[in-house]
Amino acid sequence: MKRALITGITGQDGSYLAEFLLQKEYAVFGMVRRSSTENLSRIKHLLGRITLFQGDLLDQPSLISPLREVQPDEVYNLAAQSFVPTSWEQPIATTQYTALGVARLLETIRLECPHARFYQASSSEMFGKAAEVPQNERTPFYPRSPYGVAKTYGHWATVSYRESHHLFACSGILFNHESPRRGKDFVSRKVTDAVARIARGLATELRLGNLEARRDWGYAGDYVEAMWLMLQQDSPDDYVIATGETHSVRELVEIAFAAAGLDWKQYVVVDPTLLRPAEVELLQGDYTKARRQLGWKPTVSFRDLIEMMVKADLEQYQRSAKSEAA
């Protein structure tokens, strides 16, 4: 039985990856930071089948004992401060988690379990003010936010440990990926949650920032398979994972409201306070290398993804209304 350790197992991707690896009959270990209230809602259906350790990317000693005890075959580093606007409000904390956290983990792997294969959750935010469209593994990085800068550090740290210490270290340059488990701050879920609340009479408007920004949005369930595939290859490498399509926030909003039979123009208010100090205007990924070398491709279209999320949020508010009425 292979052993995998996931940092960030309580997050969107961590929960899908844990499910995926359990299906592949892995022994799954997760690193969870302490909080004053339990924060396991995305993985509560997996408790009993996974083993959790307390650990924090800010605290190197807390990384040592899980890695020493578990001796994992594979380590997936998904933990990060992952919300871009917060990275302008907390640039130092973001650098500590999202950049230096990678260095702490790589160094601990080098010392405790150098044969473990390592996956780093890199990001299309590294392309930032992108030099070309679409972006591939050779496109230069031009990050626009402290988050993008921190992810760029994590990417190059991964390459450096691969080249200098011969770790089997891979960097997945993932474009935006969403699901019904996405945090409600991110634009896709912010919109689908608001659509459901408006449809159920719980809200009357939705305040958004830049409607013209374009992203390459895929389904998180597809993207965790790509993470795993990278670690099953003969040699470590870096891969862009994307759908190859780009859509605006405006298109996302139109599809989401229409899925609930609503006209978005009656509810959406553009709020200038939600504009970013520096925007990433256009992301579109070229996943040719992943398709050719990993045999990976996305399976869920943009429209199906947004409709899936609206349906899940509508059902959730319906369940809450029923349980309140009972």
**Catalytic site residues?**
123, 125, 147
Instruction: Please confirm whether the linkage preceding 134 is cis (ω < 30° from 0).
Output: yes
Select from 85, 183, 209, 244 the one that contacts ligand NAP (CB under 6 A).
Answer: 183
The dihedral sign for the CA sequence 208, 214, 96, 170 = positive
Minimum distance, C-beta of residue 163 to ligand G4F, in the bound complex (Å): 24
User: Rule CB under 6 A: is residue 56 a binding residue for ligand NAP?
Assistant: yes
Provide the minimum distance between the beta carbon of 148 and ligand NAP in the complex, in angstroms, as a whole number.
10
User: Which of ligand NAP, ligand G4F, none binds 222 (CB below 5-8 Å, type-dependent)?
Assistant: none
Cα(42)–Cα(182) distance, rounded to whole angstroms? 10
Task: Check residue 244 for interaction with ligand G4F (CB under 6 A).
Answer: no
Query: In 101-128, which positions are buried (b, 16+ CB within 10 angstroms) versus exposed (e)?
Result: bbbbbbebbbebbeebbbbbbbbbbbbb
Q: How far is the CB of 87 from ligand G4F (least distance, A)?
A: 9
Q: Measured between alpha carbons, how far is 30 from 175 in angstroms, rounded to an integer? A: 24
Decide if 45 contacts 68 (C-beta within 8 A).
no
Q: Where are the alpha helices (DSSP H) in 24-59?
A: none
- Residue 81 found at the interface with ligand G4F (CB under 6 A): no
Residue 222, interface with ligand NAP (CB under 6 A)? no
Indicate whether 41 belongs to the interface with ligand NAP (CB under 6 A).
no
Q: Which of 13, 112, 216, 313: binder of ligand NAP (CB under 6 A)?
A: 13
**In this chain, which of 82, 139, 243, 284 binds ligand G4F, going by CB under 6 A?**
82
Told to check if 276 binds ligand G4F by CB under 6 A, we report yes
Q: How many Cβ atoms are within 10 Å of 45's Cβ, its own excluded?
A: 12
* Residue in 210, 243, 246, 284 binding ligand G4F, rule: CB under 6 A: 210
Q: Are strands 117-123 and 74-77 parallel, antiparallel or unpaired?
A: parallel
Question: Taking CB under 6 A as the rule, does residue 126 contact ligand NAP?
Answer: no
Interacting partner of 13 out of ligand NAP, ligand G4F, none (Cβ under 5 to 8 A depending on kind): ligand NAP
Is residue 87 a contact residue for ligand NAP (CB under 6 A)?
Answer: no
Which H or E element spans position 74? Answer: strand 74-77
Q: How many residues bind ligand NAP (CB under 6 A)?
A: 25
Distance (Å) of CA 319 to CA 101, 199, 312, 315: 39, 14, 11, 6
97 touches ligand NAP by CB under 6 A: yes
SS3 50: strand
- Report if residue 279 touches ligand G4F, rule: CB under 6 A: yes
Alpha carbon separation from 140 to 167, 223, 281, 317 (Å, rounded): 24, 23, 16, 43
In the region spanning residues 173 to 192, those forming contacts with ligand G4F, defined by CB under 6 A, are 175-176, 185-188, 190
Q: Which residues contribute to the site for ligand NAP (CB under 6 A)?
A: 7-8, 10-14, 33, 35, 39, 56-58, 78-82, 97, 121, 123, 174, 176-177, 183
